Amino acid sequence: VLAGPGTGKTRVITHRIARLIDEGGSRPESIAAVTFTVKAATEMRERLGALIGDSPASQVSVGTFHSLGRRILNRWGDTIGVPGRAELMDSVQRKRMLREACRLAIDEGKIPGALLADGGVEALGLRAWAWIEFLRTSAVFADESMKLAERWMEWINEQEGSEGWDEERVAAERTKAEELTASSAVYTHFERIRLERGLLGFDDYIMLPIRVLRESERARAVILDELRHMVVDEFQDVNGAQLAFLRELSPPKMQRDICVVGDDDQAIYGFRGSDDRAFQHFAEIWKGAEVVTLTENYRSSEAVLTTAQRVINAAHDRFEPEKEIHARRDFEDAPEQVEAVHVAGPAEEGVTIAAMILKDLAEHEGRDLSRIAVIGRSHTTVSEIGRALELEGIPVDFSQTRRYEEDEAVLDIKAWIGLVTGAPGPNIMRLLVRPPVALSPEVAVGLISAYAAHERQAKVENQEAMSVGAFLTERAEEHAGLARLAELLAEFTGEAAVRSAEEMVRVMIERTGVAHRELPSPREEARRVRALATFIGFVRTLQPRIDAPGDLASFQRYYEELDADEQARGLASFEGKESEDDTEFAAEGVKLLTAHASKGLEFDTVYVPRIGAAAGCFGQVMKREGPSLPAELGAFEADERSAHEREQDEVRRLFYVACTRAERRLVLLSKRAKDLSKSMHLFQELAWRGKTPLGPDERGESVVLVEGEDVVARAGESGVVLRGGDALSAEGGAAGSEREIRSRVIADARRTARRAAASALDRAEDGLADEDELDAIGDELGQSARRLAIVRAVEAGLDVPTWLAGADGYADELAQQIEGAIELVGRGTGLRKLTAPLELSYSKIDQYQRCPGCFYLRYVLGMVEPGTSQQIVGTVAHAALERFYRRWSDADAEGLDKPGLDDLLVIARELFVMESRRVRGVEASQLDQIEAQLRLGYERLHDDGAEVMMLEENAPFAYEREGVDERAHTFKAKLDRVDRLAEGFRIVDYKTGQAWGRLREPKKDDLQLGIYAMALAARLEMPIEELAGSAEYWLFATGERGVIGLGEIDHKKVRKAIDRAIEGMLAGEFAPKKDCGEQCRLLLGGGGHG
């Protein structure tokens, strides 16, 4: 049954089940109705109860794929050796078992040296796990995996020499097949180890029931007798394993009763293994199946459906390409067209949507805000718009975008855990700038810089540095806040030695008072308490799993090893995994959610922002990385689409889902563009004809194109007053930026006032010396209350009355802060500007490009990230290569026997031993990785006839921006190696980390190679235009070369990138990137997550 959006698929399923029972005489318990979420199963059971009565409805097996598999496993798992008390494994257990499995496979000689060279045991485990996940999603067991790898190799041998199969393709295919072979060896050991230990993955509730049905004749006979009718909801979301499970439950040869319902146009979960050709595969398996198409939509207006249909019609592959959905619902006030809104930039989207909502509310009394949704591609996009709506006084439900682990109080407790346990990271910075310590950012920066200097000096003197906690405790007398920190740190450190992790977390929450710091509003306090309770529950769940003695340090080590999603969501439970796709809202107001989370929901009005082709936009086509098999080895007919076409189709389907959530009104927003995009651009497909946008009076179209400025102006004419600013600027993001800055200053002012009140209460709680101190605290509380009222008046755009303004001039000061902050737009962050001439390097320019804030912390303040034991691989490999090639060059020059691979490995071992004495946490497996990399590099990259000209050569050079710099800047460059070639020179840069695509195929504007070319030209005192030869990355993880001709490097683009960085440094532009780490945002971004 192909059931388009809003066509009543749940009704179809429940009525089919009812007819099977009432008219077909089927026993209710012989029917299985399978869904994908607990919420859908509950709704289906309730509807079925209304049709046939609660008693027979309760006997029908209604649930998810995994709950059905769990029932089978609980009853029959012993037939295949599944332990009776198995539990779901977490990511730490998985990683540890994978390491064990990898070592066993290495000991058996089943892992080629090239695979071990590429990242060592850790990377081998990650690659093996990617393959294991892929194989299990496709219902391929460990024993079948090895046979599949053998088939792949045989197929490659058959293709070799045929058209399109050159040496490079053959080598690439063999590399992938070898990786599958190695991963299969790991897979075999991994499966045995975890089943012996009673640990399951969530997908085992699909995979293991398949084994039960295949391997136990008795179980199979009973299960097939009991379950004679299968009905599957949301069939488009199945993966290969779920399809195989269905095949075992309804064998095609037995002509079983099976009905699947879904819509291939809404297949949006390919990123987690779902197969968007599920209906095509169904038709291949159950040949002759009847196809019923539901096309009458009872949800959306005609304009909404026509617009969505145009998008999906352009997909490269659909099960029924001619399928179209038709509107069957009438609306009294539905717009005749979908509104496509051009805005100057992302900053204008929030105020534009706010203007439309407020105008709608003014014109339609009683409009329910909870029936309005903003649906975007990412949480970041909709959260930004949500904040803009809040600024305009529109209630917003953030429940789908804010997670408990992002709560300020939870982050504070995590920071305390880090400080007490000595864990590296930005924890201490958070504690210094937030209550109860509450140092100014300048003082905090000074302390951290002083500690960084202490660490550097200790390293120079070959001594162990003090812990950061001890360092700050020594300075407790310098600041009252530091004294409070030192007192709490001493208490927590002492108790952490005798309490469990869970007990210590409770103690920390109680004694720091994080739930009530800054006197949050009642709503915020309730959310904060919920977040803390969730975190306590997370620690309690983890407590039995962490290593002995189960204290706070053990918890921190275990926590750091968890995958990021488990750190965020907590440990997986069966019930939690079952319901993770259920969307539940927690507050009134406009709903914010991603397109994936919107599936199955419906709203009166839907706004879809940031549509486009650029990064971060709704419509961006993301290249999906990960394992894959040649189509020729697949179980079904080959998909004729390219990988890019498949990715484009998934984006279309996701957009189709977002649009069809709208009932009455759909509004699409996109940045105004001068030209037609060369990439897929969904907004332009709808709102442009040919190379130009639609005119405002175009008729006969499902969309009407309007300008954001006009939308806001019309709202103003209707009496809507926008707090965030006047009409939009047609020239770009200035107005939007001003609103954002104004909002941030107001939020900071509110936070400061609340902190001041909380600080006064803290002092009172510490004890009072006399009545004067009590009066002073009372005055401070009164001042905080007055300032909060002033902030509220300014936020609402109201005049501050004289009686409220008081005599201290705070109202004028706040207005000046807002005006001053707006004046600084585009003029940097107010941090110290650097002065010319600068001392530059590739690393500095690269860091500035990635995040100016992190550049400032590292290169201006000297806050270097702590090193890791993994860095020993690069350190030793580079040093070994330098020492080896110096000996090699000397021998070559003197006519002596040149050293070989064995000599290189001896050098590496000697250096590894020396380095391991200096660096903590080094493992023997890292020497294996180093040796494997050097062996691979020697075999594939070493040229015995090379003429090595420079090794580890310091090549500084002067750099000037044309017509700008009065004095030249100094670039420091160190060339790993330069060879002399017949046609010129070869610059070689060694890379021992991951072989990224940008390294395998350097672009013409490659910054590092461009700078090294400048350095070599300066070193040789020759014009860079005359420099001939190549620049190469030597990738020791894979034995590949990334090569670009020196004449191909676009030095204009390289210089442009350098010039932009220099300009920003000299202007003091050090604002953190939005996606940067917490330490950077706390120091430079005005308050972190708040």
Q: Which residue has the higher pLDDT, 424 or 778?
A: 778
Confidence of residue 1089 (pLDDT cuts 50, 70, 90): very low
Confidence of residue 729 (pLDDT cuts 50, 70, 90): very low
In contact, 181 and 67? CB cutoff 8 Å: no
| Domain 404-578, second-level architecture | Orthogonal Bundle (1.10)
Question: Residue 909 pLDDT more than 50?
Answer: yes
Considering only the top CATH level, what class is 946-1066? alpha beta
| 296-307 per-residue burial string, b: 16 or more CB within 10 A, e: under 16 | ebebbbbbbbbb
- The residue type at 602: E
What residues does each domain of the chain span? 2-84+204-294, 90-200, 304-400+583-621+639-717, 404-578, 734-823, 946-1066
Specify the pLDDT at position 870: 62
pTM for this prediction:
0.80
Return d(Cα 586, Cα 608) in angstroms, integer: 22
Return d(Cα 983, Cα 465) in angstroms, integer: 52
The per-residue pLDDT for range 580-622, each reduced to its tens digit, is 555 566 568 999 999 999 999 999 999 999 999 998 899 999 8
Confidence of residue 340 (pLDDT cuts 50, 70, 90): very high
Return d(Cα 307, Cα 340) in angstroms, integer: 11
Q: What percent of the chain has pLDDT over 90?
A: 60
Question: Residue 1075 pLDDT more than 70?
Answer: no
Confidence of residue 825 (pLDDT cuts 50, 70, 90): very low
What is the number of alpha carbons within 13 Å of residue 521 lying toward its C-beta?
5
Specify the pLDDT at position 668: 98
**Residue 710, C-beta contacts closer than 8 angstroms, at least 6 positions apart:** none
Q: Which of 18-27, 701-710, 748-757 has the lowest mean pLDDT?
A: 748-757
The per-residue pLDDT for range 532-583, each reduced to its tens digit, is 888 998 899 899 999 999 999 999 999 999 998 888 777 766 565 555 555 5
Give φ, ψ of 232 to 5 degrees: -120, 125
In contact, 798 and 783? CB cutoff 8 Å: no
Specify the pLDDT at position 467: 87
Per-residue pLDDT, averaged over 873-902, amounts to 92
Residue 1074 CA, distance from chain mean position: 13
Specify the pLDDT at position 1086: 42
Q: What percent of the chain has pLDDT over 70?
A: 91
Per-residue pLDDT, averaged over 396-403, amounts to 81
Specify the pLDDT at position 1090: 30
Residue whose C-alpha is closest to residue 294's, from 490, 517, 7, 53: 7
Specify the pLDDT at position 43: 92
Confidence of residue 920 (pLDDT cuts 50, 70, 90): low
- Mean residue pLDDT of the chain comes to 88
If you write DSSP's letter for every residue of 819-856 in order, what string do you get?
HHHHHTTTS--SSPPP-SSPEEEHHHHHHHHH-HHHHI
Return d(Cα 234, Cα 998) in angstroms, integer: 39
Question: Residue 712 pLDDT more than 60?
Answer: yes
Number of H helices, E strands in the chain: 42, 27
Question: Residue 791 pLDDT more than 50?
Answer: yes
Per-residue pLDDT, averaged over 367-391, amounts to 93
**Residue 288, C-beta contacts closer than 8 angstroms, at least 6 positions apart:** none
Confidence of residue 1079 (pLDDT cuts 50, 70, 90): low
The per-residue pLDDT for range 962-1001, each reduced to its tens digit, is 889 989 999 999 999 999 999 999 999 999 988 888 999 9
Q: Which residue has the higher pLDDT, 744 or 670?
A: 670
Question: Residue 1018 pLDDT more than 90?
Answer: yes
| 803-820 per-residue burial string, b: 16 or more CB within 10 A, e: under 16 | eebeeeebbeebeeebee
Classify domain 2-84+204-294 by CATH number: 3.40.50.300
Per-residue pLDDT, averaged over 803-812, amounts to 79
Specify the pLDDT at position 634: 85
Which tokens sit at 661? 């959530």
Question: Residue 1074 pLDDT more than 90?
Answer: no
- The residue type at 52: I
Specify the pLDDT at position 828: 44
CA angle (552 as vertex; 546, 557 as ends), nearest 5:
55
Let me know if 945 is exposed, middle or buried by CB neighbors in 10 A (0-12, 13-18, 19+): exposed
Confidence of residue 730 (pLDDT cuts 50, 70, 90): very low
Specify the pLDDT at position 120: 87
Considering only the top CATH level, what class is 304-400+583-621+639-717? alpha beta
The per-residue pLDDT for range 1025-1047, each reduced to its tens digit, is 999 999 999 999 999 999 999 99
